[in-house]
Structure 1
Amino acid sequence: MENVYILMLIALFTLAIIDLVVGVSNDAVNFLNSAVGSKAVPLRKILIVASIGVAVGAVFSSGLMEVAREGIFIPGKFHFEEIMIIFLAVMIADVILLDFFNSLGLPTSTTVSIVFELLGAAVFVALIKIYYSTGDYETLFTFINTSKATQIIIGILLSVVIAFTLGSIIQYFSRLIFTFQYEKKLKYIGAIFGGLSFTALLYFILMKGISSISLVPPDFLDYVKNNSLIIVISGFLLFTGISHVAITLFKVNILKTIIVIGTFALALAFAGNDLVNFIGVPIAAWQSFEIWHAAYQATGVLPSQLLMSGLSEEVSTPILFLILAGLVMVTTLWFSKKAMRVTQTEIKLARQEVGDERFEPNFFSRGIVRYFIIVGNVFQSLIPDFLSQKMSSKFNKETVPVDEKGLEVPSFDLVRASVNLVVASVLISMATNLKLPLSTTYVTFMVAMGTSFADGAWDRDSAVFRVAGVLNVIGGWFVTACTAFLGAGLFAVIIYFGGIIAIAILVLLAVILIVRSTVLHSRKLKEEKKRKRFKRSDIITINEITIESSQNISSVIGRINKMYTKTVDSLGLHDLNKLKKSSKGIEELELEIDELKGNIFYFIKSLDDESVEAGKFYILILDHLQDMVQSIGFITRNSYNHVHNNHKNLKFNQTRDLKAIDTKMQVLFDDIKLIFDSHSFSNIDNVIAEKRVLLENVSELIQRQIDRIRTTETSPKNSKLYFGLLLETKDLISSTMSLLQLFQEFHKEAKQTNY
């Protein structure tokens, strides 16, 4: 009997390690996004600062099992056997849920997930207990502390609104004061801004960070709470003086200092406060086992007989567990690819410039943007023109300094990054002081969205995309609560009736899903690295335009060649699954070409004066590539629809003729790809000479099909598809040759210019 529960504890601690990895991967967005997005300091230094904060917060965390002690459910109503079922169900659900959000690259709340998993598992186990005992389901509320769940839901709603509103207001006035040319203003008002910021961060560290560290004397914490006003005033005066000296004498960029300290503070508070979300449940399970084991040795009580009232008492976590947890968290911070992906989601939604958008607009985002445009126009009409122009000039980004050649432009500047950290810190510390349930993820994310909105980052070109992204993330938070509740409840029921076999299957399932998710994510990253991505600072000179165009042409030609062959082969075999995969590949290729065309604005802005004329060449190249992709898209999709609609197979002669054209096109496209891979552009003439022969072959096939219709062909659908494939093949060849001729002319002119 005892061995069964030891195995359950081993499973719980194994899941806790996995949960630490997936949890930190998601929550890293809370303290990394401002520093990473603003590029205040190199990424390596950011990670070092965050690692120190995480390590200190984790190792010195008090580690109290808060979620059980505060009564999400009433431990005294459940037996030891049932408690272990609840905890196992919670950990399995938490690991799967958090990894799912990490794979999507969406931030979610680890606090909400663990609370609603505890709530869901406890509710389902309580329902089973009631069913087999009294049958009075009204007694369910005696097992559950419903007020706690209500407080958390209210906290979510309030934090979303308050964080966004305060972030918007404070950023708006900060920008009015500093403008986007803030360097000069820092000399005069940077000390005051630094004093306010450092005081807020100090108070945040004291209230949110140090309050969770077990080694801090309670008397000191009481002193901080009772003398908050004196600490704030004294801190402001002290830090303002220090900031003034640092700016004037040592030429310190005070904004970068704020960002570094703010990153440390948030990381410290995250590890010290949220660690319970990841290891609190297995620690509580271990403590439950100790309580039962002692009672079993003393009285022989069975696991199904001992009520766990003792679990509600405050029990500190052994320091060894905290050290190991801190080590796992720091390691994850450095090596987790998913952590960077979640961080990038928030950074992209908050970035200053328009560019590639991850989220598609929807009905709600369009409606919200349209409403705010109308309201904004009304307010604009109420403000005098001179005042409106004066305020608008403060948000002028046209003269923002451009980064040096070759460096990636920050997503937002140091002013906004500082406001993000300070406002989030103040809100979290206030909520902690008032003992309000609050998620650091909700606060940091919504503050970042509010500051980006106030900063004019959501303009008419990007607003519907950004609002759609925010709605997706907020919707994901509520999905987290529902999924956590139902998932943990379902797992609890399975374990309750399935026993040790069900536990083994569910743990194995969780591990398999994590491994599969990691492999798929790694494969996706490798595919993205293979594809050349446009960067506005990459292409400046004619030589760089030639290299970039050659890579794009080679990549597109190679993929079109493979898609054409796969489509012809799959159509001949009537293979629906392979045609479906080809259709998805076309969608990816279309998105990449659309992304390149969407970045033409930045491409032209980045050109040097001598290369501006080459901009037209680059645009025309992309236009020809798009025509080629549209042709192969028509060929693939029509082939897929033909097979999907269960129309008749192509005749043997038709399939044979298409395969003959495919063979010749393979040779042609391989030659073209070799030209652009090796930059042997002098061979373009030889390839262009093959154009007429190939086009004549296609024309001959069209005539053959006309003759068949007059004699033997009986299927209108086959004829429609076959003619469509041949005509689009002809267009594909023509677009390819037009591209080659354009590139040949440009290359000759470039050589003449250079020499």
Structure 2
Amino acid sequence: METFYLIIVIFIFLIAIFDLSVGVSNDAVNFLNSAIGAKAAPFKVIMAVAAIGIFVGASMSNGMMDIARHGIYQPQYFYMNEIMSILLAVMLTDVVLLDIFNTMGLPTSTTVSMIFALLGGTFALAIVKTINSAGALQMGDLINTDKALQVIVAIFVSVAIAFFFGVLVQYIARLIFKFNYQKQLKYFGALFGGFAATSIIYFILIKGLKESTLMTPENRQWIHDNTQILLGCCFLCTTILMQVLMWCRINILKIVVLLGTFALALAFAGNDLVNFIGMPLAGYSTYHDYIANSNGVSPDQYLMTSLLDSASTPSIFLIGSGIIMVVALLTSKKAHNVIKTSLDLSRQEAGEESFGTSPIARKLVRMTTNTSSFIVNNIPPKARTWLNARFDKDEVILEHGAAFDLIRASVNLVLASLLIALGTSLKLPLSTTYVTFMVAMGTSLADKAWGRDSAVYRITGVISVIGGWFLTAGAAFLICFTVTMIVYFGGSIAIILLGALAAYMLIHSQISYNKKLKQEKNSSLAQQMVANKDKQEALVLLRKFSREEFAKVLEWSADLYHRVTTGFLNESYRTLRKAMGDIETERRYFKQVKRLGTIGVSHLNDKVGLEKGLYYFQGNDFSYDIIHSIKRTCEPCLEHTDNNFNPLEQSQKDSFGEIAQSIVSFLEESRQSIEKDAFGDLAALYNQGNILINQLGVLKREEIRHMREQVSYIKVGIVYLTVIQESQNVVAYTINLLKMNQKFQEGN
């Protein structure tokens, strides 16, 4: 039995290694978002600064480990086998849940995931224990609900406070510095840099090192008693230092951003490490205590009162965790995906949007626009002119490829640090993830990054992320509740099966994510095209972008048309329903593509933009018409099949099925022609298309004659005629798309 539990402890530690990796991937957005978004330094330098912060923070972490020992459950009422069941279930739940969110690119709270997973597992066994004890034990004896309640309250507090102050502080900062901040920085730069550096250092002392091995009670008390003197001296010294750096022509904003990145990385590793290794260490302590003191008592009779003692984490575990976290940070592609979501929602320039629209977002934008118009109209003209000058985005100073400027990056880091430090000093459990994300959203709103053309997408994205936070809590609770029950009653077989299932899900997730990355290879091209200011380069990028997108439209069209016609001929309702859903997805995607293409055309010089832009827009229209024709084909087929009306006769299926396959081949050959940028085969393709149109015309005449003779088949006949007509349209629109693409791609 001892060997069995030793294997469980080892298994939990192995899961913890994966959990550290996915946890870093999720929380990397907290400390990398601002530095990467503003291009404060080369990517390798930013990662090195963050890696040092993580390693230092992890190596000095300790006290927060107690939450895994007695923060949620009351260990004096739980037996050893029950504690091990809860800890194993929490780890299995946590690692899979976080990986799912990372794959989706949504930042969530590792603290919420751990707390609610612990609560779910504890609640599961608390039910069992209260039933078995015949009323001797109550839920309140077994569960510490106060901690879970604190986390729930922290969600609302973090979101509201961080967003409000993000908007307010960034608005004030922009009034002071403008988008062209160079002149103002000469006068106020040293003071701003000193204040920012002091705030970040205060954050490091109060939050980052709060539970480190260096912070003894005496040190903590000394800092508390001398806080004002420390801050005053720090402000004076850093202000002087910033002025000296400015005289040396060093951009102090980059120094502030890198210092803030280090501070948040240190705080993340120091305080959130418990979310990843707290469970394994609690399991290790449980096993060690049982071996040393059980005296032959079986695991289901040995109470874990020893977990009430404070944790004393061996340094080897802290250092090892720091190394794993650093390696994960430097190698995780999913970390970059989560960062991308935050940057897409806060970038200054328009571009490809990661989210669609939603009714709530549209309503909020409409209300905000009306309110803003009312306020602006009642501002005196001179004041309005002055405000417009302060918020003139045409003067923005952006590093090449940056999402926003260094002023906003500095405000993000300083404000997040101050809010988290303030919350910590007031014993409010503010979430680092929630604060940093919502501050970034607030500052982007204040900077007018959410314009009329992008606000509805950005707000939908923010709502999606916030919804994901609540989903994390509910999913962690329910999944861990179920897994704990399975582990507790299923024993070793259940543990093996659940472990295999978790491993499969992680491997499958990684494979699927790698495929997704390959499918999104054009994203960088779209961002290049949107950010490009060179009018000569603009045409080259737009041509490459259009080839990829037109080819993709034809690839989708070939697949969708094949599925729609096959589903109709085979009377497959499921195939048609799935195809209809995919058509709607592609239509929404292509709307976004058209928007990006319009931005690309706007970057062309006047002569080229007028001539080539017309061909590009016509090509876009024909692409959309192809998808729309396939939709008009699918709709009546789906309704007809859903109602179980009479099918086509076999002779009709045979004749149309052959032509439908030829249309699919025609679409595929057209795609290859656009993809290869080869115009030599266009004459043959035009001829092939015209032949198909004529063949479909013959089928149409035959069907009209057939309907006059077979009145009982009039319902399927109407659908069949629609399918033939829209098939002709698909071929005709494809021919026109090929012609417009040729005119757009040729010449200078």
Do they superpose with TM above 0.5? yes
Supply the distance in 2 between the matched residues of 1:104 and 1:520 (Cα, whole angstroms): 11
Supply the distance in 1 between the matched residues of 2:293 and 2:398 (Cα, whole angstroms): 70
1:420 aligned partner:
412
Is the 1:20–1:328 Cα contact (8 Å) retained in structure 2? yes
Supply the distance in 2 between the matched residues of 1:211 and 1:257 (Cα, whole angstroms): 24
Q: Single out whichever of 149-158 and 280-289 deviates more from structure 2.
A: 149-158
1:359 to 355, 375, 381: 355
1:242 aligned partner:
241
2:261 aligned partner:
263
Aligned residues: 742
1:301 to 294, 297, 302: 297
The runs of 5 or more residues in structure 1 that have no matched partner are: none
Supply the distance in 2 between the matched residues of 1:417 and 1:242 (Cα, whole angstroms): 20
CA 1:690–1:236 in 2, change beyond 3 Å: closer, same or farther?
same
Is the 1:27–1:441 Cα contact (8 Å) retained in structure 2? yes
CA 1:435–1:741 in 2, change beyond 3 Å: closer, same or farther?
closer
Q: Single out whichever of 640-649 and 5-14 deviates more from structure 2.
A: 640-649
Deviation (angstroms), 1:544:
4.8
Deviation (angstroms), 1:533:
5.4
Q: Is the counterpart of residue 493 in structure 1 residue 503 in structure 2?
A: no
Supply the distance in 2 between the matched residues of 1:328 and 1:231 (Cα, whole angstroms): 34
- Provide the identity percentage: 40
- Aligned pairs for 1:584-623 (under 5 A) are 584-613=581-610, 614-623=612-621
1:166 aligned partner:
165
1:708 aligned partner:
706
Deviation (angstroms), 1:589:
3.4
1:556 to 550, 553, 558: 553
State the SS of the aligned residue for 1:44.
helix
TM score, norm. by length of structure 1: 0.92
Supply the distance in 1 between the matched residues of 2:351 and 2:46 (Cα, whole angstroms): 25
Is the 1:194–1:255 Cα contact (8 Å) retained in structure 2? yes
Amino acid in structure 1 at the alignment position of 2:700: I
Is the 1:63–1:280 Cα contact (8 Å) retained in structure 2? no
- Aligned pairs for 1:164-243 (under 5 A) are 164-215=163-214, 218-243=217-242
The Cα RMSD (Å) is 2.6
State the SS of the aligned residue for 2:125.
helix
Is the 2:76–2:304 Cα contact (8 Å) retained in structure 1? yes
CA 1:466–1:592 in 2, change beyond 3 Å: closer, same or farther?
closer
Supply the distance in 2 between the matched residues of 1:527 and 1:435 (Cα, whole angstroms): 46
TM score, norm. by length of structure 2: 0.93
CA 1:547–1:420 in 2, change beyond 3 Å: closer, same or farther?
closer
Deviation (angstroms), 1:528:
2.1
Write the deviation string for residues 663-697 of structure 1: whole angstroms up to 9, x where unpaired: 54355445534443443324434433444433222
Q: Single out whichever of 228-237 and 216-225 deviates more from structure 2.
A: 216-225
1:461 aligned partner:
453
Write the deviation string for residues 390-438 of structure 1: whole angstroms up to 9, x where unpaired: 12321121333577xxx53x22211111101111111112222333222
The runs of 5 or more residues in structure 2 that have no matched partner are: none
2:25 aligned partner:
25
2:472 aligned partner:
480
Deviation (angstroms), 1:208:
1.7
Deviation (angstroms), 1:2:
0.9
Amino acid in structure 2 at the alignment position of 1:679: D
Amino acid in structure 2 at the alignment position of 1:169: L
Task: Give structure 1 regions of 4+ aligned residues with deviation exceeding 6 angstroms.
Answer: none
2:6 aligned partner:
6
- Aligned pairs for 1:716-731 (under 5 A) are 716-731=714-729
Supply the distance in 1 between the matched residues of 2:531 and 2:160 (Cα, whole angstroms): 38
Deviation (angstroms), 1:104:
2.4
CA 1:401–1:147 in 2, change beyond 3 Å: closer, same or farther?
closer
Supply the distance in 1 between the matched residues of 2:342 and 2:744 (Cα, whole angstroms): 41
Is the 1:63–1:275 Cα contact (8 Å) retained in structure 2? no
CA 1:566–1:464 in 2, change beyond 3 Å: closer, same or farther?
closer
Deviation (angstroms), 1:581:
4.6
Deviation (angstroms), 1:17:
1.5
State the SS of the aligned residue for 2:352.
coil
1:431 aligned partner:
423
Is the 1:540–1:611 Cα contact (8 Å) retained in structure 2? no
Supply the distance in 2 between the matched residues of 1:532 and 1:604 (Cα, whole angstroms): 17
Amino acid in structure 1 at the alignment position of 2:165: L
Deviation (angstroms), 1:31:
0.8
CA 1:255–1:733 in 2, change beyond 3 Å: closer, same or farther?
same
Q: Is the counterpart of residue 338 in structure 1 residue 337 in structure 2?
A: no
Supply the distance in 1 between the matched residues of 2:568 and 2:523 (Cα, whole angstroms): 28
Deviation (angstroms), 1:580:
4.4
Amino acid in structure 1 at the alignment position of 2:271: N
State the SS of the aligned residue for 1:438.
coil
CA 1:437–1:566 in 2, change beyond 3 Å: closer, same or farther?
closer
Supply the distance in 1 between the matched residues of 2:154 and 2:63 (Cα, whole angstroms): 23
Q: Single out whichever of 235-244 and 453-462 deviates more from structure 2.
A: 453-462
2:682 aligned partner:
684
Write the deviation string for residues 365-412 of structure 1: whole angstroms up to 9, x where unpaired: 334334434444454455433223312321121333577xxx53x222
Q: Is the counterpart of residue 520 in structure 1 residue 502 in structure 2?
A: no
Supply the distance in 1 between the matched residues of 2:523 and 2:235 (Cα, whole angstroms): 50
Deviation (angstroms), 1:120:
2.4
Supply the distance in 2 between the matched residues of 1:414 and 1:606 (Cα, whole angstroms): 25
Deviation (angstroms), 1:304:
2.4
2:442 aligned partner:
450
1:399 aligned partner:
395
Supply the distance in 1 between the matched residues of 2:412 and 2:524 (Cα, whole angstroms): 33
Amino acid in structure 2 at the alignment position of 1:335: T
Is the 1:64–1:316 Cα contact (8 Å) retained in structure 2? no
Is the 2:66–2:311 Cα contact (8 Å) retained in structure 1? no
Supply the distance in 1 between the matched residues of 2:588 and 2:359 (Cα, whole angstroms): 22
1:627 aligned partner:
625
Deviation (angstroms), 1:229:
0.9
Deviation (angstroms), 1:86:
1.8
Write the deviation string for residues 23-70 of structure 1: whole angstroms up to 9, x where unpaired: 111111111111222222232322222112112211232265221456
